[in-house]
Homo-oligomer: A and B are copies of this chain.
Amino acid sequence: MAVPLVDGEVPTMTDERALRADARRNRARVLEVAAEVFATEGLSVPVHEIARRAGVGTGTVSRHFPTKEDLLVAIMSNRLVRLTAEADEIARREDPGTAFFALFTALVREGASDCGLAELAGTERRLDALGQRAGADLCGRLHELLATAQKAGNVRADVGYADIRALMSACMSRKEDPLGPILSVVIDGLRGGASG
């Protein structure tokens, strides 16, 4: 078939086109199932199991996503891009003192509802190395907003980025029941005795 490549058909996107109909369906189904499974049971679920639940063979999964890491990237990169955009909007809309807390809260809520994302957020290097761009960008936004909020005196000056990561991860791990208390504890603590 060889794909004519006429006109504006640029193959930069991860080949959504030029796939047979059933292949595209399977790919989508795998993505859907994997997202669900990673979200509810974490990243340690075997690829085998994802294939089984998607009703396809393991070969089908590993052809579309040669590596488990590739599958993970495919699932997470969209979300990370979206979160980065959200971070930018927050930075624009909120005032410097509260933008950091708004992003922090948004990220925690996102992670609390997704086991896999929480694991990613907790492992440091993995998130950074993941979508090359997406993960690093989001981390960069958080880092910047932290610095800004600290300059504005709304976050204790002595906490570091690594402290933030650790606290964020802790909040994300409280999936069940009320997320409120721990979030509130951490945010209050981060404010310190600063002006309210």
Contact = CB atoms under 8 A, between A and B. Distances in A.
Contacts of A182: 159, 163, 166-167
Nearest to A173: B166
A174 B189 contact: no
Given A166-B170, A167-B170, A170-B169, A158 B181 contact: yes
Interface in A151-196: 156, 158-160, 162-163, 166-167, 169-171, 173-174, 176-178, 180-182, 184-190, 192
Nearest to A163: B182
B186 A186 contact: yes
Contacts of A188: 188-189, 192
A191 to B, nearest CB: 9
A21 B179 CA distance: 55
Of A178, A185, A188, chain B has the most CB atoms within 10 Å of the CB of A185
A166 B174 contact: yes
A182 B167 CA distance: 8
Given A167-B186, A189-B190, 16 more contacts: A156-B185, A158-B180, A158-B184, A159-B185, A160-B177, A162-B177, A163-B174, A163-B181, A163-B182, A166-B170, A167-B167, A184-B189, A185-B186, A185-B189, A185-B190, A187-B189
Interface of A: 156, 158-160, 162-163, 166-167, 169-171, 173-174, 176-178, 180-182, 184-190, 192
18 contacts: A156-B185, A158-B180, A158-B184, A159-B181, A160-B178, A163-B182, A163-B185, A166-B182, A167-B167, A167-B170, A167-B182, A167-B185, A169-B173, A185-B189, A185-B192, A188-B192, A189-B189, A189-B190
